[in-house]
Each structure stands twice: as structure tokens, then as C-alpha cells.
Amino acid sequence: MAANPMTQFEVYRIGPEIKVGALDISFTNASLFMVISSLAILFVFNLGSKKNSLLPSKIQLLAELSYTFVSKMINDTAGTKAKPYFSFIFSLFMFVLFCNMFGMIPYTFTVTSHIIVTFMLASFIFIGVTIIGFIKHGLGYLKLFVPSGVPAILLPLIVIIEIISYLSRPISLSVRLFANMMAGHTMMKVFGGFVISLGIVGGWLPLSFSVALTGLEILVAFLQAYVFAILTCIYLNDALNLHH
Amino acid sequence: MINKILFQLVFFNFLLIGKVFSAESGGMPQLNPEYWISQIFWLTITFGVLYVVLSRLILPKISSNLELRKSQISDNIEAADSQRKKSESKLKEYDDIISKSKMEAKEIFIQAREKTLKEINLKRDALDKQIDEEIKRAEDEINQLKKDSPTKINKIAIDTCSEIIQKLIGANINNSSISAIVEDLSKKKGEKYYGN
């Protein structure tokens, strides 16, 4: 039988077991790809910022284009007040993007296809944004849940809906990325399995699907990183510029 | 009845799928909490290091690179602008000099022409005068000659006549009689020969 499409998401230990008290923090394949992604980002951007020539080299152009891309994205969605959080959003975007893209290489592990990783990132953003909101506006940040121009009768309902939608932000943010990554990789695996099981006679159709899916998945990998970053910007915008 | 069978088929099928998954790997590996702590830990470490290095070292460098390039480009544009202005003023100066020197050349030319014209006129006047004088002198001479010529011719005629007569008849005739005749003839026909 062809390999289970879910086995690609299995986490296994690499090297010795590391335990802090009862907590197992062993180095796993997931950790390996987190490290690889981070190092790749640092490598590319270090190379791209090392030498400043008036006519930038290709790698420098790449680094600078990414910089202006993210900075423009933040400026457009969250305004100039979000400038101090540029580094964080840039790191976030690049981390998610590189993890997604590394996952597209065969036999690699996709870090972002694990709900725990995306949920940690999303909840960190959620908590951070909430703290920023309360620091900037005090208790006035609660006005976020009370939209203006709503009839008084509807207000309790609207407030409850707003609170639920606010609290579900980390879940929607994390599940969106995780589910996209998992679904895409599972689908590719399934189609790959079809190619094997149908053999040389009927395998061409799923193979062509697989090729098309690879292109689609690369697009999704970029798009999900972008969506993740831009939603972070939007949440940050809510916290920084309270207008309801 | 058929509905019931169909429902059972679907339901048991579903159970079967669940059994297959649980038998092979225990469902989604993502929901297996065995390595959650490890993933959280390593995510914090790697993302933290990534964030610190990017925000402290790399992003400020890229930003300063961009700023530097921007300022460099604007500086270059400014320099080019000033150079252009300079060259324009130089061009204007050059044009001024050219037009000025052209005017000067024209003036010099006019002056020179006037001067030469004047000189030519002067010389011509002097030459005219000289020529006039010489013509007058020549005319005087001619007039003198004209005035003198009848008496001279008469004298020559008288002399020739007397000689011819002496040779022809060998007698010395008084010149005065011959001269009287010549005078007479010349008075009669002189006007025909000498004009005036």
C-alpha cells in the first residue's frame, strides 16, 4: 500500500533526548527545519545587506525589495504608527514564507503544517496586540467591541459577536495557515500515490495534476505567508488606531 | 429499508476509515501532543534569534543602505542640476562674448572701410588735380604751339620759297616780297589749314 499521506507530518526525534524536568524538548525534524529556515533567512539577508553598491546586486535587490514590500504592506494597512513593529512583522513574514517554501522541497518537513506552531505564533500576536491596545488606549480599547451607529437594542448582541470574533482571531489565524499547508501537502501526496498505483498506463493524469498542484502550492505558500503577515498588520492597526 | 442499508454502509465505511487511520498512525500527527513542548521551545528559540538578529543587525543595515542610496541619488541629481545651470550660464557668457566680438568686428570693418574710402578719395582728388594740371599745361603748350605755328610755317615757307627760287632761277630775291605773298596766302587760306 502507498504511504499514508499523513506520515509526512510526523515529528520524530533527531539526536539525543533532551528533558527539562518533565518537559521533552528534544531536537526534532521540525526543529531542524525551523533552524534551517531561520539560517536561510539570515544568510540571504546578511548577504543582501553586506555591501551597499549604488547599483545593487541581485541578492541585494532581493533583500531590498522584500524590505520595501513589507514596509509598504505595513504602511498601507496599519499606518506610520506601526513602524516600531516593522522588524517583528518582517521576521514573521519571512519565517512563515521560508518555512512554507522549504516545505515544498520533496522529503522536507513543513513546519507551518503543524497547528501547534501556527497557534503559538498566532496567540503570541494576539496577546501582543491586545497588550499594545490596552497600553495605547487603556480601558478605552474595549470600545473596539462597541461599534458606533448600532441601534441600542442590537448592541448587546453585537458586542457579544465582536468579543467572540476578537477571541477567535488566534484560532482563525493559526488554522488558516495550518489547514492550507496540511491540505496542500496531503493532496500532493495523494496524487503522488495515485501516480504510483496507476502505473505507467494511467499515471500520467495524476502526474500532470501533481505538477499543476506544485505550482499552486508554491503560490499558496507565498499567499498564506502574506495573509498571515497582513492579518497581523490589520490586528495591529486595530490596536494602534482605534476607530470604531 | 434501502435508506437504512445505505446509511449503515456509509456509517460503517466511515468507521472503517477511522480504524485504518488509527491503526496506521493514530490520526493526524499534528494532534499528537508528544512533541508539542519541543516544537514550542524550538520555535521560540529560532524565531527569537531570527527576530533579534534581523531587527538589531540586518534590517537597520538595509534601511540605511536604502537611505544612503536615496540620498546619493538625490545628491547626484542635485549636482547634475547645478552643473547644468553652470553650463547654461557659461553658454550664455560665451554667446555674449561671441555677439560682442561680432559687433566689434563689424565696427572695425566699418571704420577700416571708411578710412580706406577717405584715403582713396584723397588720393583720387590729388591725382585728379595733378592730371588736371598736366592736361592744362599740355593744352597751354598746344595752344602756344598752335599760336606759334603759322609764323613758323610762314617762315619755313618763305625760306623754302627763296631757296627754290634761287635754285630755279639763280637770283636773289628779297625775302620781304616773298613774305608778303606768303602772308597774303596764309591769311587767305590759313583758316583752312590751321583751324581755330
End-to-end CA distance of chain B: 173
Cβ contacts of A174 within 8 Å, gap of 6 or more: A115, A118, A119, A121, A122, A123
Distance CA B141, CA B139 (A): 5
Is the separation of the CB atoms in B39 and A119 below 8 Å? no
pLDDT score at B191: 62
Phi and psi dihedrals of A13, rounded to 5? Answer: -75, 140
**d(CA A81, nearest CA chain B) in Å:** 17
pLDDT digits 0-9 by tens, A159-177: 999 999 999 999 999 999 9
State which residue of chain B sits closest to A51, comparing Cα positions.
Answer: B65
The model's confidence at residue B31, banded by pLDDT at 50, 70 and 90, is: confident
Q: Is B48 on the interface with A (CB under 8 A)?
A: no
**Rg, C-alpha atoms of chain B:** 70
State which residue of chain B sits closest to A4, comparing Cα positions.
Answer: B24
- The three cell numbers locating residue B150: 603759322
The model's confidence at residue B23, banded by pLDDT at 50, 70 and 90, is: very low
pTM across the whole model? 0.72
Taking each helix axis from N to C terminus, what angle separates B59-169 and A58-78, rounded to the nearest 10 degrees?
Answer: 110
In whole angstroms, what separates CA B44 from the centre of its chain? 77
Count how many pairs of residues, chain A against chain B, have C-beta atoms within 8 Å: 135
pLDDT score at A64: 92
- The three cell numbers locating residue B177: 616780297
Q: Contact B66/A67, CB-based, under 8 Å?
A: yes
State which residue of chain B sits closest to A85, comparing Cα positions.
Answer: B55
> Is residue B13's pLDDT more than 90?
no
A35-to-A16, A20, B58 alpha-carbon distances in Å: 17, 20, 18
Distance CA A229, CA A166 (A): 17
B53-to-A2, A161, B41, B166 alpha-carbon distances in Å: 43, 40, 18, 159
pLDDT average, residue stretch A29-58: 91
pLDDT score at A1: 40
**H-only helix segments in chain B:** 2-24, 36-53, 59-169, 175-194
Q: Which residue has the higher pLDDT, B13 or A148?
A: A148
Q: Contact A25/B61, CB-based, under 8 Å?
A: no
The strand pair at A19-20 and A23-24 is best described as: antiparallel
The model's confidence at residue B194, banded by pLDDT at 50, 70 and 90, is: low
Q: What is the ipTM of this complex?
A: 0.91
pLDDT score at A53: 80
**d(CA B110, nearest CA chain A) in Å:** 60
Which DSSP state fits A148?
T
Q: Is B40 on the interface with A (CB under 8 A)?
A: yes
Which residues on chain A are in Cβ contact (under 8 Å) with B23?
Answer: none
**Facing residues of A13 across strands?**
A28
> Is residue B176's pLDDT more than 90?
no
pLDDT score at B104: 96
Which DSSP state fits A150?
-
Q: Which of A56-70, A98-112, B13-27, B145-159 has the lowest mean pLDDT?
A: B13-27
Is the separation of the CB atoms in A170 and A123 below 8 Å? yes
Is the separation of the CB atoms in A101 and A218 below 8 Å? yes
Interface of B with A in 74-133 (CB under 8 A): none
Q: Contact A88/B30, CB-based, under 8 Å?
A: no
Distance CA A181, CA A198 (A): 26
pLDDT score at B19: 42
pLDDT score at A35: 95
Which residues on chain A are in Cβ contact (under 8 Å) with B39?
Answer: 11, 28, 30-31, 114, 116-117, 120
- The three cell numbers locating residue B85: 545651470
pLDDT average, residue stretch A198-225: 92
Distance CA A119, CA A126 (A): 10
Percent of chain A predicted with pLDDT > 70: 98
Helices (H) and strands (E) in chain A, counts: 7, 2
pLDDT digits 0-9 by tens, A82-134: 899 999 999 999 999 999 999 999 889 999 999 999 999 999 999 999 999 99
Distance CA A128, CA B46 (A): 19
Instruction: Identify from B32, B35, B51, B57 which residue to disrupt to test chain A contact, counting A C-beta atoms within 10 A and taking the largest count.
Output: B35
State which residue of chain A sits closest to B25, comparing Cα positions.
Answer: A7
> Is residue B102's pLDDT more than 90?
yes
Cell numbers 491596545 correspond to what residue? Answer: A133
Is the separation of the CB atoms in A100 and A225 below 8 Å? yes
pLDDT digits 0-9 by tens, B140-166: 999 888 888 777 887 888 888 888 888
- Secondary element (H or E) of residue A121: helix A115-137
Of B44, B51, B66, the CB nearest to A91: B51
Percent of chain B predicted with pLDDT > 70: 83
Burial of B37 (0-12, 13-18, 19+ CB in 10 A): middle
What is the full DSSP assignment across A15-52? SS--EETTEE---BHHHHHHHHHHHHHHHHHHHHHH--
User: Domain map of chain B by residue range?
Assistant: 40-194
Distance CA B186, CA B149 (A): 12
The model's confidence at residue A45, banded by pLDDT at 50, 70 and 90, is: very high
pLDDT score at B186: 74
pLDDT average, residue stretch B88-112: 96
Q: Contact B38/A42, CB-based, under 8 Å?
A: no
Q: Contact B47/A95, CB-based, under 8 Å?
A: yes
Instruction: Identify from A31, A32, A51, A88 which residue to disrupt to test chain B contact, counting B C-beta atoms within 10 A and taking the largest count.
Output: A31
Distance CA A65, CA B65 (A): 12
**Facing residues of A19 across strands?**
A24
Of B29, B53, B54, the CB nearest to A10: B29
Q: For residue A186, count other CB atoms closer than 10 A to its CB.
A: 17
Q: Contact B51/A87, CB-based, under 8 Å?
A: yes
> Is residue A13's pLDDT more than 70?
yes
Is the separation of the CB atoms in A201 and A165 below 8 Å? no
Nearest to A224 by CA among A163, A181, A165: A181
pLDDT score at B193: 60
pLDDT average, residue stretch A215-238: 95
Is the separation of the CB atoms in B16 and A1 below 8 Å? no
pLDDT score at B78: 95
Q: Contact A120/B43, CB-based, under 8 Å?
A: yes
Which residues on chain B are in Cβ contact (under 8 Å) with A120?
Answer: 39-40, 43-44
